[in-house]
Amino acid sequence: MKALLLSALLLASILVARPAAAEEPASEDAPSAVEERSAAFRAVSGPETESVPGGPLLIGAYLALWGLTLGYLLRLGKIARGIEADVESLRQALQKVDDDVR
Amino acid sequence: MSFARISPSLFAPAWLVTALLVLASLSLVFFVAPMEVQMGIVQKIFYFHVPSAFAMYVGWGATAVGALAYLASRNPKADALAVAGAEIGMLFCAIVLVTGPLWARKAWGVYWTWDPRLTTTLAAGMIYLAYLSLRSFGEAGESEKLFGAGLAVLGVPVLFLVHYSVQKWRGVHPTVITKQGGGLAPEMVTPFLLSIAAVLSLALLLLWTRYRLERQRQAIDAARARALEADLLENEA
């Protein structure tokens, strides 16, 4: 009888303890929401049924990347040509002064 | 184009190394790096999007250093560095703000959302756009240079906000690269590191080129001013 009572008590303690353990808050070592999200590239929003083709988006991104870079290189070229033109006009103006002095 | 005049001995090798890095990184990204499970091919935007953000920091970091040095010393070299850095930072900010939404369309279903990192990046871009606008109003006088330098320094806290916004506030922007080791598959690491090297090399080369051009422009402006003072030239204005 004593053994039966002890067994019942043990079973009851297990049944009570399990749900209690499940309700415990996450420990401090557990990853935060940010870390958990960052560990995987999971979609977080957007319609489930829509299938967005990745190819055109990828091509668009790389076109933008190299298009903007090329555009900036052209701008640098324009600045360089402007500097050359300024140097030439300054040189001609000073040459004219030099000729007038002579 | 006369870039070669800037520094003939180093210019061509620097461009060659950068071009090789870019080609190598592109080939690794498209032929070696595996496809990502959830997003598929669009994840390959990541390999140049993140390094472009690093290059943006480099450019605006150079602007901050140059602006602070100019405020302290009025040295024209510091001003040239600030202008060059602002342009390079703006270029890569534009790349980040274009490539990011294209990736987001697939990942989030929308091109744009007011996530902390996206919003702070846009805010930083507007600050440095204001700086460049101020500097592009004709020939910048001393007051424009000083005001611009102050504006550039004010942009520095926003750069820290951009970087730490993901950790401090909840948002949807991923932080794959973390101190804990990141969430990249091992096969993605080498292509990603090579892409960082390629983009940073390109950014530094562009920064150097723009800085040298700005220094040449400053030298011409100074020569013209001296010639005008000596009555060697007629004032065109």
Nearest-angstrom CA–CA distance, A80 and B206? 13
CA torsion angle B2 B6 B11 B12 (round to 10)? 30
To probe the interface with B, which of A36, A42, A78, A83 has the most B CB atoms within 10 Å?
A83
A67 at B interface, C-beta within 8 A:
no
Q: Cα-atom radius of gyration of chain B, to the nearest Å?
A: 20
Q: Which residues contact residue B67 at a Cβ distance below 8 angstroms, ignoring those fewer than 6 apart?
A: B78, B82, B148, B149, B150, B152, B153
| CB contact (8 A) between residue B98 and residue A68 | yes
Please give the Cα distance from B124 to B152 (Å, whole number).
10
Closest residue of chain B to A44, computed from CA coordinates: B108
Can you give the residue ranges of every domain in chain B?
41-222
**Segment holding B100, helix H or strand E:** helix B76-107
Q: Do the beta carbons of residue B176 and residue B184 sit within 8 Å?
A: yes
Spatial distance between the Cα atoms of B78 and B65, rounded to a whole number of angstroms: 8
pLDDT, position B77: 95
Nearest-CB residue to B91 (from A34, A47, A68)? A68
| Closest to B138 (Cα-Cα) out of B1, B211, B2, B237 | B237
Nearest CA in chain A to B216: A83
Contacts of A87 in chain B (CB under 8 A): 220
For every residue of B144-174, DSSP letters joined together read HHHHHHHHHHHHHHHHHHHHHHHHHS--S--
C-alpha to C-alpha distance for B81 and B59, rounded to whole angstroms = 9
CB contact under 8 A, B183 and A38: yes
On the question of pLDDT at A92 being above 70, the answer is: yes
Is residue A81 within 8 Å of residue B2, measured between CB atoms? yes
Tokens of B178: 């973390």
How many CB atoms neighbour CB B195 within 10 A?
Answer: 27
Q: Which residues of A touch B2 (CB under 8 A)?
A: 80-81, 84
Q: How far apart are CA B179 and CA B51, in angstroms?
A: 17
Q: Assess if residue A17 is contained within a domain.
A: no
Taking the CA of residue A28 and the nearest CA in chain B, the distance in Å comes to 15
Q: Are B138 and B131 in contact (CB under 8 A)?
A: no
Token pair for B66: 């140059």
A30 within domain boundaries: no
Q: Which two tokens stand for residue B86?
A: 């602002």
Asked if residue A12 belongs to a domain, the reply is: no
Measure the CA–CA gap between B30 and B26, rounded to whole angstroms.
Answer: 6
Q: Please give the tally of structural domains in chain A.
A: 1
B40 phi, psi to nearest 5 deg? 70, -140
pLDDT, tens digit, for every residue of A3-57? 666 666 666 655 555 444 444 455 556 666 566 555 666 665 655 555 778 889 9
Q: Which domain holds residue A96?
A: 56-102
pLDDT category at B38 given cuts 50, 70, 90 is confident
CA B184 to chain centre: 24
The answer to whether residue A39 sits within a structural domain is: no
pLDDT of res. B73: 94
Q: Is residue A49 a part of any domain in this protein?
A: no
Taking contacts as CB-CB distances below 8 angstroms, the residues of chain B near A41 are 36-39, 43, 107, 174, 176, 183
Q: Which positions ≥6 away from B93 have C-beta within 8 Å?
A: B56, B121, B124, B125, B128
The alpha carbon of residue A32 and the mean position of all alpha carbons in its chain are separated, in whole angstroms, by: 18
In a domain, A73, yes or no: yes
Three-state DSSP class for B40? strand
Which tokens belong to B142? 């001393």
Structure tokens at A40: 């995987």
Q: Which of B216, B226, B229 to mutate to test the interface with A (most CBs of A within 10 A)?
A: B216
For B198-230, the pLDDT digits (tens) are: 999 999 999 999 999 999 999 998 888 888 887
**Using CB atoms, which residue from A41, A65, A77 is nearest to B39?**
A41
Q: Mind listing the pLDDT tens digit for each residue in B108-154?
A: 888 998 988 899 999 999 999 999 999 887 566 888 889 999 999 98
Query: How confident is the model over B63-105, as pLDDT tens digits?
Result: 999 999 999 999 999 999 999 999 999 999 999 999 999 999 9
